[in-house]
Amino acid sequence: MKLKSSNPLLKNDRFTKSGTATAYDPDGRPLEIIDFNNTMTVQGAINKSILLLVLLVASAVFTVGIVYTGTVGVYPLAIGGIIAALILMLIGGRKPEYLPYIAPGFAVFEGVFVGAISAIFELMYPGIVLQAVAGTFVTALVCFLLYRFRIVKVTEQFKSVVIAATLAIGTYYLISIGLSLFTGIRLFHHDNSLMSIGFSVFVIVIAALNLFLDFDLMEEGAKRRLPKNMEWYGAMGLIATLVWLYIEFLRLLSKLQD
């Protein structure tokens, strides 16, 4: 059974090679030899997630300082950060053997993007960043506990529903960006109406459900003894979901304050 995830980073075909070697007995029958020092573990994926999160936060704090000093414009930082992060994500998908070098860079550029966006929202709504950070942390903790104690089980149907909803949201955002750039039309989620607030709550719920897919992917990868560099894959996927969740909290809180 192939693993699935809504994170664009976590391509299914990258999780098909096991961290094993093949040998043959005297009769020519294949034997599977598992190299436990070179296979994915849940603890390894968690450790790498923490490392990437530390790099992201440090980069975000540094970026906020740059924005407040006026050294570089906030929008070039935000756009440049997210584009660089996406490029590294794509490279990591093509060249997983370079993930130990790509993943830290991905976290740093994600931090640049988060720092720039945070500076924009904090200037408009003082105190909103701490509220969004708290919301993201509490949501992630609750999702982890629900998954850890098997209160929420990640079934194939669960995965299909979450992936479909995530793709629908992504398509809607792309359409919205296209309309805004080329026609000047802004869709309803930009205002602070009840419908817009409800949409933000829905997106936050879907982003939170993606965390269950990330946790499940790490656990299943460890069970299947996948190569150790896949720990970086799992960590990058989790960080990407947390950033999405944080940005959506910023959007929701800004609408509520308006």
The pLDDT score that the predictor gives to residue 33 is 44
Q: Number of structural domains, the chain?
A: 1
Q: Is residue 28, in this structure, part of any structural domain at all?
A: no
C-alpha–C-alpha distance, residues 193 and 45, integer Å: 40
Residue 9 has pLDDT above 60, yes or no: no
Burial of 25 (0-12, 13-18, 19+ CB in 10 A): exposed
Residues of the chain with pLDDT > 90, as a percent, come to: 71
Does residue 22 lie within any of the structural domains? no
In a domain, 174, yes or no: yes
pTM for this model (two decimals): 0.87
33 part of a folded domain: no
- The pLDDT, as a whole number, for residue 107 is 98
pLDDT at 34 over 50: no
Residue 12 belongs to a domain:
no
Assess if residue 21 is contained within a domain.
no
Amino acid at 120: I
* 102 within some domain: yes
Residues 6+ apart with CB under 8 A from 201: 252
For strands 20-24 and 30-34, give the pairing: antiparallel
Residue 16: inside a domain, yes or no?
no
Mean pLDDT is lowest, of 63-72, 122-131, 234-243, for 63-72
Mean pLDDT value across the chain: 88
pLDDT at 18: 54
Does position 218 have pLDDT exceeding 80, yes or no? yes
DSSP state of 39: B
Q: Fill in the DSSP letter of residue 228.
A: T
Structural domain span for residue 53: 39-257
The reported pLDDT for the residue numbered 2 is 44
- HSE value, Cβ hemisphere, 13 Å, CA-based, for 161: 9
More confident residue, 9 or 219: 219
**43-57 per-position pLDDT tens digit:** 999 999 999 999 999
**Strand, helix or coil at 78?**
helix
User: At residue 5, does pLDDT exceed 50?
Assistant: no
The whole-number pLDDT of residue 71 equals 74
Other CB atoms within a 10 A radius of the CB of residue 52 amount to 24
pLDDT of residue 111 exceeding 60, the answer is yes
Q: Which residue has the higher pLDDT, 195 or 70?
A: 195
Count CB-CB contacts under 10 A for residue 75. Answer: 11
Contacts 24+ apart (CB under 8 A), 199-208: 200/248, 200/251, 200/252, 200/255, 201/252, 203/169, 203/248, 204/139, 204/245, 204/248, 204/249, 204/252, 206/162, 206/165, 206/166, 206/169, 207/241, 207/244, 207/245, 207/248, 208/139, 208/140, 208/143, 208/245
